[in-house]
Amino acid sequence: MAEEQKQRILELDCAAIPAVRQTYSPTLGSERGLFSCYLGPLPDETIVALDQCARARAPVRLLFDQGPLLLSLVKAELTDTQRVRIVGIVVQTSLATT
């Protein structure tokens, strides 16, 4: 029997990494939706880790001051030196609403 591999979640602290141009398009009748933002500057190791997550379809957790945001089906696109555009489906959120 094949052994199931547990997916690791990459966590990025958006309080320490500038996250700009954040957008969220909710799915009608669901808490899920499409989220995107630009992160950077990022160290090379983080860019490599994001690329690996995108290729493996592994989730990414963005840690904001208001709470974490868990994304699946993440796409990471290098837009500039050390800057990445992240797009993913929101699967879990704990963001405070104000």
| Closest C-alpha to 65, from 41, 96, 26, 24 | 96
1 falls within a domain: no
Evaluate the omega torsion of the peptide bond into residue 41 and state whether it is cis, within 30 degrees of 0: yes
90 falls within a domain: no
Residue 84 has what pLDDT?
A: 95
93 falls within a domain: no
Residue 76 scores a pLDDT above 90: yes
CA 52, chain centre distance (Å): 13
Taking residues 56-70, what's their average pLDDT?
93
- DSSP lists the bridge partners of residue 12 as 62
Residue 42 scores a pLDDT above 70: yes
**Domain residue limits at 54:** 10-82
Q: Structural domain tally of the chain? A: 1
Residue 14 has what pLDDT?
A: 92
15 falls within a domain: yes
Residue 5 scores a pLDDT above 50: no
